[in-house]
Amino acid sequence: MDGTGTDGFGFPPKPWSQSRMKALRKAILAGDEEVDGLSYTEVYDWYFSALQSIVGAIGNLDLSGLDVHDIRLSSRVKTVDTLRDKLIRIPSMSITSVHDVMGARIAADMSLATQDELVDRLCRLLGTERTEVLDIRSRPHSGYRAVHVILRTGGVSAEIQIRTLLQDLWANCFEEAGDLFGRGIRYDGDPERDDHGLTTLLRGISEGIAALELAEEGPLSMKAAARLTNERGCYERGLRMTAISLKGLRTAHGLQSGIEGE
């Protein structure tokens, strides 16, 4: 892939006109999912097909020379419910200007420096002229930390999230907590029901992870490196156990997962 032009992704023809998409937006805000000549199912299917082309391109990402382990690539298109929530939060936004209607995620066991290099290589692969980098590590959203690459091409956008292992484990726990205690916590809101302090605890853990990952950039003595390795293991085990517990609670309450990413 040469990173130029939109035809390289092989997007299918769009099933909508601008006027029908505007009408569909109004319908979605009113609680419906279709208008005459267009349904969100058709829009979803188009975005899904387009996303497969983007994911295929990401699969060509050059990882040579990078200290990356346990790399995972996933993708999703927003459901109509989560899209509706976003349109309600941002009334002036059109559907096609929502930059994360379709999105992919790269998560891997890697350092912050490697995360930076991975982001740079991804932007060069997709085309630097059509990508924008949003670094959410220094200014996190309610504790959420990651780097997002926004791809704008063919009149639509896609969001590619790049997370370290601990950033990803934390985000998955926080998403599970949002399903249980109200998704407003993702936007610095308070829990809608008693979470026994979990939201506050997770936000504090996010600060600890950020400090740990910065400290790991070194240079480090053998003693300091061993201490950080032990600390990392504690965070990883704790977050994995917390995620399992939260999933169990969600299942017990008959709730579906709302995980779609930030």
Residue 2 lies in a domain: no
Residue 128 lies in a domain: yes
The pLDDT value given to residue 183: 87
Q: Are residues 114 and 175 in the same domain?
A: no
**How far is the C-alpha of 121 from the C-alpha of 212, rounded, in Å?**
25
Report the alpha-carbon angle 124-106-213, nearest 5.
Answer: 100
Inter-residue contact 20 to 72 (CB < 8 Å): no
pLDDT exceeds cutoff 70 at 1? no
Q: Are residues 160 and 171 in the same domain?
A: no
pLDDT tens, position by position, 122-134 = 999 999 999 999 9
> Of 164, 194, 221, which residue sits at a domain end?
164
The pLDDT value given to residue 8: 67
Q: Are residues 150 and 237 in the same domain?
A: no
The pLDDT value given to residue 5: 37
Which domain CATH number covers 159? 3.30.460.10
Q: Are residues 171 and 130 in the same domain?
A: no
> Of 144, 164, 184, which residue sits at a domain end?
164
Structure tokens at 186: 């993702």
CA gyration radius, the chain: 20
Q: Are residues 100 and 207 in the same domain?
A: no
Q: Are residues 182 and 226 in the same domain?
A: yes
pLDDT tens, position by position, 27-58 = 999 999 999 999 999 999 999 999 999 999 99
Q: Are residues 142 and 27 in the same domain?
A: yes
Q: Are residues 72 and 197 in the same domain?
A: no
In the block, tokens 């504790």 appear at 143
**How far is the C-alpha of 29 from the C-alpha of 26, rounded, in Å?**
5
**How far is the C-alpha of 22 from the C-alpha of 43, rounded, in Å?**
12
Residue 257 lies in a domain: no
pLDDT tens, position by position, 58-117 = 999 999 999 999 999 999 999 999 999 999 999 899 999 999 999 999 999 999 999 999
**How far is the C-alpha of 206 from the C-alpha of 139, rounded, in Å?**
12
Residue 219 preceded by cis peptide, ω within 30? yes
Residue 197 lies in a domain: yes
Q: Are residues 75 and 202 in the same domain?
A: no
**How far is the C-alpha of 10 from the C-alpha of 128, rounded, in Å?**
19
Q: What does residue 190 show for φ and ψ, rounded to 5 degrees? A: -90, 155
**Start-to-end C-alpha separation, the chain:** 28
Domain that holds residue 208: 166-252
Residue 106 lies in a domain: yes
- For every residue of 123-188, DSSP letters joined together read HHHH-GGGEEEEE-SSS-BTTB--EEEEEEETTEEEEEEEEEHHHHHHHHHHHHHHHHH-GGGGGT
Q: Are residues 180 and 119 in the same domain?
A: no
Residue 262 lies in a domain: no
Residue 258 lies in a domain: no
The pLDDT value given to residue 260: 52
Q: Are residues 145 and 211 in the same domain?
A: no
154 burial class (0-12, 13-18, 19+ CB within 10 angstroms)? middle
Number of domains in the chain: 2
102-109/156-164 β-pairing: parallel
**How far is the C-alpha of 262 from the C-alpha of 240, rounded, in Å?**
19
Residue 16 lies in a domain: yes
pLDDT tens, position by position, 190-244 = 999 999 999 999 999 999 999 999 999 999 999 999 999 999 999 999 999 999 9
Q: Are residues 191 and 113 in the same domain?
A: no
> Of 164, 180, 213, which residue sits at a domain end?
164
